Amino acid sequence: METFIANITIINYRSFSQECQIVLGPLTSLVGYNNAGKSNILNAIEWLISNGSLSEQDFNNCEAPVVVSAEIEGVSECSLGRLGSTHRKKIEKYIRDDKLVIKRVQAEPGLRATANKWSLLDPETEEWDENPAGIDAAIKKLFPDAIRINAMDDAAADASKAKTSSTIGKLLKEVSGAVVEKHQGEVDSTLGVVRDQLSAEGIGRFSALNDIDEKMNESVSTFFPRVSVKLDIPVPDMEEMFGSGTIKIYEDNAEIGRPITYYGHGSQRSIQMALVKLLADIRASSQDQENPSTRLLLIDEPELYLHPFAIDILFEAFKSLTHAGYQVVYSTHSAQLIDKSIAPSVVLVRKSPERGTYVRKPLTIAAHEVVNKPEHLQEIIYSLSQATQIFFSETVLVVEGKTEQRIIPLLYQSLNSKALAVNHIGVADLSGKELFPKAHRILSSMDIPFKFVADLDFAFKLAHENDFLDSSDSDYQALLAILKSLEVQQLIALDDKGHPKTKKSPCSAEEAYHLLATQPEAHQHVRNIHQKLLEHEIWVWPLGSIENHIGNDSKDELGLVRYMDQLRSHGVEAICPDPEGTRRFVTWIDEPWL
């Protein structure tokens, strides 16, 4: 893709009570709970490009204007080549470093759309120029009208309206372009014959129409002696006919098709999304890709009513469209429509009474702010991208393995009689605690409420290296001394930092930390360390690991499944060797989050 909207700023539109800037890419996913304002972002983008009159309901505050501005990137020589010399001269002065900044304002509700003029930012003066002459046509060349597909609240109406304003109509018009271009001549010739037979000036009008004309004029002449009339029956051109098309469905090779409205929402949505995929295929195979214009595709919840396999196919179509001149922005509640390629730029949309609709900092931006080394940057972005619970939850419990990710929700439900999801809490697995410090800083930067859960070894290996715990801390030093005494007794082996190791040791490092935790002289020090890390929203298991608290020592999948079945059947009190510690952990989850 060449030209695309890199960011958009929304002021006073619907749920946006404060100014909000949203970073966009060629393919952008908007994620948030219902009523957070995702659709309002799509609507604002559409209004910026396509214009229209905003009503009182579109204003957050009717005493202030609605303002939507955008920075367009990739306005290169190739892009300008599509404009022609006249339009190019109008817009060139506003472009710097291949970027163009545009704005549309509606001062008050109910104004006519023609009053909502463009403003362009002059990079030399840093001032806005309002409605430069000829600028509408120039911008139209860069960004044709957006295709907007709603969440299908009224699927039947949207699919059955034979209008170019409906979803089906827009998509049919888009995919029919090649047909119109190829067959325009022969269709116009045929329609010309029909036009001659039906129009008032036709040279081959049907005699029946002439008879009616004659009878009408006999009557009209009574009132208007010097006036004559003729019936005029308009004949649409080929583009108009495509614009009024709809869909018929043929089942089992039936000869008679049924309108799409005959079928349920699932079928209607599937066909609609199939047309989106067709767009991708047609554009990808188009021969004229030298100077493609950018078409905006704005979709609410494209996964709605679709089978999981169809969602996967649709997502691939979206990615294909971005390589064929489309910028695709969509809202979603489906993790299937997010993969590692776009997860770093997912827009997390939130809403609060104080702030209205706002967005959290994208993962990529937050990661670049807090991680210095490129190799570490890619690793943490990839890991957090895989943990999609981060995107779909209001608050995130970050754990270091699949066992915790599966068992903790069950522990919570067993003790609270409700699921974590009821409180909008997700469990994200980073597959190892080594990434916890970086993830901790990144989630803080993204303003995502979080808590971390780690084994006791986190306090020794990582906490003091990342400013969670001072290396000179008295409790930490006391525990190192106890570990040393256990090594002297040949119960464990330590590395050069005084931490338990597995190689050439009487026991594994995991077992060594549990042994440390069970030493009477270590109890208070472990509790103190545990409490100090809680100040950073990090829970370390006082007995070494979660397994020591809940009684699951199985390392294989079958053993874990059996344990979870027992937990469901008998409950925490009967199964866990440390029910009180387990209960404290679940209580901590429900305490206020950062």
Q: What is the dihedral of CA 149, 150, 156, 158, to 10 degrees?
A: -50
In the numeric block, the tokens 């509790």 are attached to 527
CA atoms in the 13 A half-sphere facing the CB of 384: 30
CA angle 559, 431, 426 (to 5 degrees): 85
DSSP letter at 361 equals P
CA distance 199 to 201: 5
- Per-residue HEC secondary structure of 476-499 comes to HHHHHHHHHHHHHCCCCCECCCCC
In the numeric block, the tokens 């022609």 are attached to 84
Phi-psi region of 20 (alpha: psi -120 to 50; beta: other; left: phi over 0): beta
Domains within the chain, CATH numbers bracketed: 4-162+277-352 (3.40.50.300), 172-259 (no CATH), 371-590 (no CATH)
pLDDT of residue 172: 67
pLDDT of residue 549: 96
pLDDT of residue 464: 87
**Which residues make beta-bridge pairs with 310?**
none
Strand pairing report for 118-122 and 127-130 = antiparallel
pLDDT of residue 397: 95
CA atoms in the 13 A half-sphere facing the CB of 78: 11
Strand pairing report for 326-332 and 27-31 = parallel
Taking the chain (594 residues) in runs of 10, the rounded mean pLDDT of each run is 88 97 95 94 94 95 97 86 77 91 95 91 92 79 77 57 59 68 82 90 90 90 86 84 75 83 78 74 57 78 88 88 88 90 90 94 89 78 82 90 91 94 90 88 92 95 91 95 96 95 94 97 97 96 96 86 94 94 96 76
pLDDT of residue 92: 87
What the block records as the tokens of 411 is 């522990």
pLDDT of residue 144: 66
CA distance 152 to 161: 13
The number of beta carbons lying within 10 Å of the beta carbon of residue 126 is: 7
Compute φ and ψ for 198, nearest 5 degrees: -115, -25
What the block records as the tokens of 31 is 């994620």
pTM: 0.82
Alpha helices by DSSP H, 164-205: 167-175, 177-198
DSSP letter at 529 equals H
Give the N- to C-terminal CA distance of the chain in Å, as an integer: 40
pLDDT of residue 443: 93
What the block records as the tokens of 459 is 């306090």
